[in-house]
Structure formats: C-alpha cells, structure tokens
Structure 1
Amino acid sequence: MTSQADSSSPTTPEGMSDFTVLHRDFERFDEDDDVGPDGAAVARLAKKRGEAIARVCRILTDDRSRSRRPLRIVFLGKHGSGKSSFINSVGAAFSEEAWHEHAYTGYHGGSATPITIFTQRFEKCCNGTLERYQNVPLPTLIDVAGKMDIGDDKMEELLRLIFYGHIEEDSAIMKAYEFCERHTRDEIRAEYGTAYPEMKVDRVVFVASADDKIPEKLIGCVVRAARPLHFTDVKRSIPVFGVLTKKDKVSDPNSSEFKERKETFMRALGLHANRFLCCSNYCDDIDPEGKRTKRLNPSIDVPIVEFFEQRVFVVAEFFEQVCDSAQKVIQDKEELPGAKGQKAEKTRGRPGAVPEGQGELVTQIQTVWRDLGPMVQALVASVFVGVVVWMALYLLLVLPASGGFESTVREQCDKGNIKDRVILDACRAPPPTSPVWGTTFIAFSAAVGCLIYMILGRRP
C-alpha cells in the first residue's frame, strides 16, 4: 500500500514541483526522528542533488575542461524578478549545507528602491571557501543590480559595456545608465574605455518572474548586446540562457496563460529547451521562518544543479578560449566593438581613449543582418565565401590560361597552313579542359564548407 501511494503522491521526486514536501519538511524542521514518506522523498532528492553536483564537477575537471578558466556568468533582469534570490539559491544548492545571503535581496523600507544597487561577483557559485571546490573551476556569478526596467538604445549601450568588461565591480549600474542617457556613444566609450578582464562576460542569464509580464523590450536589448552583428564577430556571440523564477506562485502550470508567458519568454530570448529553466528560489514566501539557514530542501536544489550540467553553460568552447599564450592575448586585448579602450591596471583609472563612432549606415546594415536570422546569415556568408574564392581562382588560373602559348596555338590552328610540327601536333590534340570548371568546383566546396562550419558553430 505504501508503494502504491508513493507512486502517485506529490511527495515522490517526480512530483516535487508543487512543494508539498518542501512545506512539510520545514514544518518538521527540528525533529530528529524518521519523518516518514516525506522524509524518504527528500532523502532521494538529496541523493539526486549530490549525484548532479558530482556530474557538474566531472564536466569541469575532465580532460577537455581541465586547462580552461572558470566562466563568468552575468545575471540580468528587471527588479523583483528573483534574480538575486536565484544567485543565492545557486550558492545554497552547491553548498549542500545551508542557505546564505550572498546577493542582497529586497527593498529599502517600503520604497521601490532595491537594496542591491552595485555590481557584485561571486566566485565558484558563491562557494569559493569550500575546500572540495578548490580545484573545480565552478563559474563566477555576476549580479548586475539596479532597476533594469528600461529597454532603449542607452540600455543596450550600457549592456555592451557590461558584457565586454567595461563596468568594474562595485559600480552603481543606474549611475552608469544615467551617464549613458546624457552623453553620446563616443563620450560613453571615452568615459568607460578601461577594460576589466575579471568582469568580461562569457554567459548571459536573463531572469524573469513566472507570475509577471515578460519584459520583451529589455530582453531585446540584452539579445542585441550579447550577439555581435559584425561578420568577423560571429564566433564571439555570448550564449544567452533564460530562467523563470517563482514557479511556486504559478497556480496552474498547465494554464494557457502560463504556457503563453513561457513561450513568449523563450521566443524573445531565442532559446532552445535546454537553455531554459523554470524553478523556485529560497525566499521568505516559501520559508517565512528562515529555516533554510539551517537546512536545505533538495526539491529546490535539484533543478538548479541539473541546469548547470550543460557543458555549454559551464565550459568555454574551443573557439572561445584558445590554449596557453594565444588565449591570454585574446582575453587581455579584446575590446568593446568600435572602442579602443585599455586594460585595467591596479589603479583602476579610466584613461578614456576616445573610440571611433559607428555611422548610421553601419547601424542599418547591422539591423538588416540581425533580422536575417542564423540560418540565412550562414547561407549569405557561404555564398560570399564562394564568390570570393571563385574570383580569386579565376584571376590566378583562368585569365593566365587564356593568353600565352595556348592562345597563339589556337590562332595558328584557325588560320591553317601550319608548317611548325609542334603547333601542328597541338592543333590535332583535343582541347584542354577549361580551368573554369575546376575553379567553380573549388569555390562551391569552399561555400559548402563555410555553411557547415557556421551551422555547427551555432549549434547549442
């Protein structure tokens, strides 16, 4: 009877999404005796959490990842989305011990001013002091705080500064935005010309609330800033991921309203299913008595840790991180597109090298290129490569073949009355194959190779 009840009960691991076990577990927090079926389900999930963490560690320490640095993951979202709470939940999940407030959450008094207004970094998923992670390159989490509810050109410019490491740690983001509002692009990049390598972003996670309207304009700014539009920067697109928090506040996950909100979120970010997470955070709504500071609940932890199991999320791809010295040169000298900044020194001053602005025509071309979409971009790029290769080979092979000795022989053959035996033999020989066909074949092969390379390079 017990097994039958467990198979359909929401206390099984598969049915933990309604947080029945979570609330019961917190109610029995101080009891040391056997807590029955609920406790058994929690134990199974705790084991599942430990296994997931072990898999993440194996991914980060295998032969393909061992020489690569920890990635820097930035978390963005409008205020009240649960962004800082999610970072704290990540830290709790990987600690396997207790919840701690790393990223500050909430608001000042009864006002709408968020407590967290500065940019913060948390190494090793907020667990940098744990000995078991000392040799595991867990990602560094970057919390970009502030009322990021704006979706305009100035916010897009600010996001570029953030993604390319031109906003130093402990900076007030809204002050930077206010500066962007009052100044031109050249003035912005002169003021924020210094690059801080430790703040350059490798992954972007946009966080939104599952029970609130999706901020599509702000998401549009994030996507445009994270995915460079220049042809030469295609491989420097920063992968974007999405997290819907406050899943526990969704009364009916199967409702058309929630499904539409989820689809809107994924469509706006251009997400595949594996780059999306819907979860709940440790917060006062779930645990008003604060018992999470003593004991965790794996029903929250497991989905979060499993989200980190994606290699593309926690490990730099080969094209992102070149080995040894070449990789270091790229990281140290990479700059904001169109800017000529300087690497930050220990003084963290801003020398303010003025970058060259981009013209209106370039902006229009960028917009058109973005609207084409990844597949059409790959096709256009492959056709361009094919045409360039064909023209180069034509100039090198076909044109020279159309003159010289062969041209003279053809003229003599056409005139007739040939006395020179060498020319006579050449006239009797079958005409050579035109190099145009070989040139066309090589150009076509180059175009196909480019197409395959770009498609595979964009694969999640």
Structure 2
Amino acid sequence: MDQKRRLQAQIKDNLQKIGSRLNGRPMTVAFIGSVGVGKSSLINTIATAMGTGCWQQHAYTGGHGGQADPVTTVIRRYPQCCRPEEHRNPLFPTLIDVQGLPEHLEGPWSDVLSLLFYGRIPEEENLHDVIGYLQTRDDIRRPKYIRGRDRLKVDRVVVVASATQLLPVDLLQSIVEIARPIQGRSRRGIPIFGVMTKSDLVDPDVDTEYLQKEQRFKDILGLQGTPRFLRCINYCSDIDPDNNMIFQSYPYLDVPVLRLMTQICDPAIEVVHQREPYPYQHLTREKTFWILMAVVVIFLAFALLLR
C-alpha cells in the first residue's frame, strides 16, 4: 500500500507541472484499439488505482458472448480519472473511451481519428455518424467539425491490444501515422503508450507466440526500450469471481497501472506542435474567399440595377 501511495503522490506532483504548460487545463488521454480488447475495463482499473476506494464501473463494460459487437458505441469522456468527487483537482487527466475501431482504417477513418486527436469531435458522438457526414458533405455547407475545443485535444494516446487476440497490425500502423505524422499538412505529434490487456491469460516465460506478438506491438508503436508499455491485468470477474472488488481494491492490480500513469503524466513528455491548428482551416479560408466574392458580385449587381 505504501508503494501505491508513493506512486499516487508522484502522479499528483507531475500533474502540477504539466498544468502550467497546458494553461491550467487537464491533460486528455485517449484509449484507442479494436473491438473487445478491454479499453473500458482499463479505464475502470485506472480509476480504481488512482483513487482510494473500491472498483466501480464508470466506463460500461461487458461482452456479447464472443460476438464482435462493441460495448462502447460513442465517445465518452471521464474527467478527473472518473472520480471528480474524490480528487477535486481540475488537473487530474480526462480519460477518453473511444469505441472500437476497425482493423483497417480505410477511406475517411483516418480523417475521423485526426479530428478526434485535434479536439474537433464532441462528447458522445458516434464515430460512424462522423464517417457518414464526411462521406456526404459537399463543398458548400459549413464543415460541421470545424470548431475546435482546446479542452478536447488529445495529449496522450494509449493504444490497447489483447494478449489473447490477433494483433491488428494495420490499425496500429495507422494510429502511429495519425498520432505522430511525419508528412502532410498535420504536424501535431502526440506521445504514444501501449497496454497489453488480459496478460494473466498468457505465460510470457513459455509462450513464445505471445512474446512475438508483444515484440511486434512494441516495434510498431516505438516502445522498445521504454517504460511506456504495460502488461495489464484489469479488474474483472475473471480475476475476482466473487466480485469482492466492489468492496475493496487490490494493490497487485493497482501498482503496475500507477507506474504507467507516472509515465503518462511525466512532465518531460510533450506534444509536438501542441497548438498546431487542424488543417481543416484551409477549407475555411477558401470558402470564406468565395463567399466574399459572391457578396461583392451581388452588391455590384444591385448597384447597377439602381443606377
């Protein structure tokens, strides 16, 4: 328990330093991955580890009997690590639970993820609705997601995969390209972290297939030789069949998560081009130019008629 308290104290100290850099707004951490890898369970585990009480289901979790149906269907934001009534500290991170992404980010999916990272998608929006809008939007109407909100900008990306599922290589590569672009109009680079959930269901000492998967996961995300990776065991009924977690917390689950959170909240890690505007703005400038031109033409036409 002493170790848990020390880590919590370190995180609080780190957040104070980060807060001044972000002009007093809380850091935003997005949890990204495919369907069913345990993103919502991880958020609940972090909330438990960061607090002093027991486990609670802040982010909705569950399964559909092996079907690939997502439990999280909209973007959900959880301020102050899901426990504003306990922390009462505006600098505690906001955790974003992102609905499961397809394994291949084709078509406008890359634009959707970029909009999310730049703080352009509001809370409780369904990403499939955003896809539908981008596919049908014309060049006349005002872009729906043109308004940015600084508090919604993503400052850390936690990529979540499952130790027991196939690695979505294409998805992982796409996330890296969007979060840390090296070419194109976007320049905002976001630090990436990686979590492998359900690690209690594999034995890394003998399971060579899992070790190869973990190695590939780290290679794609650029995590080799860094503490930005975690083999994670989430609070769930599998590790606590009697659900005693609703009455108590377990340090052996909390401490590894808190170690990762010290890295996520490390003030030495920064977003590259933090204030970079979303490149959507070039469309606005073009549209504004043509609107002004139309107004001038209409004004001249009326002037000629009145002569």
**TM-score, structure 2 normalization:** 0.81
CA distance in 2 between partners of 1:319 and 1:219 (Å): 20
Structure 1 residues 84 and 294: CA distance shift in structure 2, 3 A? same
2:220 is aligned with 1:265: no
Structure 1 residues 110 and 206: CA distance shift in structure 2, 3 A? closer
2:104 aligned residue (150, 157, 160): 150
CA distance in 1 between partners of 2:19 and 2:151 (Å): 19
Helix, strand or coil at the partner of 1:260:
helix
Q: Tell me if structure 1 keeps the 8 A contact 2:167–2:213.
A: yes
| Per-residue deviation, 1:338 | 4.1
1:56 aligned residue (1, 11, 18): 11
| Per-residue deviation, 1:200 | 1.4
Q: Tell me if structure 1 keeps the 8 A contact 2:45–2:234.
A: yes
Letter in 2 for 1:237: G
Matches within 5 A, 1:43-442: 46-62=1-17, 66=20, 68=22, 69-107=25-63, 112-130=68-86, 133-135=87-89, 137-180=91-134, 182-183=135-136, 190-230=143-183, 234=187, 236-272=188-224, 273-310=226-263, 313=266, 317=270, 330=275, 334-340=276-282
Letter in 2 for 1:114: P
% identical aligned pairs: 34
Query: Aligned-residue CA RMSD in angstroms?
Result: 3.1
Q: How many residues align?
A: 286
Q: Tell me if structure 2 keeps the 8 A contact 1:61–1:136.
A: no
Q: Tell me if structure 2 keeps the 8 A contact 1:193–1:353.
A: no
Helix, strand or coil at the partner of 2:227:
helix
CA distance in 2 between partners of 1:188 and 1:301 (Å): 49
CA distance in 1 between partners of 2:244 and 2:181 (Å): 45
Q: Tell me if structure 1 keeps the 8 A contact 2:41–2:61.
A: yes
Letter in 2 for 1:210: A
Helix, strand or coil at the partner of 2:262:
coil
Q: Tell me if structure 2 keeps the 8 A contact 1:147–1:174.
A: no
| Per-residue deviation, 1:254 | 4.0
CA distance in 1 between partners of 2:186 and 2:128 (Å): 28
| Per-residue deviation, 1:54 | 1.0
Structure 1 residues 52 and 254: CA distance shift in structure 2, 3 A? farther
Structure with bigger helix share is 1
Structure 1 residues 158 and 319: CA distance shift in structure 2, 3 A? closer
Helix, strand or coil at the partner of 2:245:
helix
Larger Rg: 1
CA distance in 2 between partners of 1:341 and 1:203 (Å): 27
Greater length-normalized contact order (CA 8 Å, ≥ 6 residues apart):
2
**TM-score, structure 1 normalization:** 0.56
Helix, strand or coil at the partner of 1:229:
coil
CA distance in 1 between partners of 2:191 and 2:234 (Å): 23
Q: Tell me if structure 2 keeps the 8 A contact 1:193–1:354.
A: no
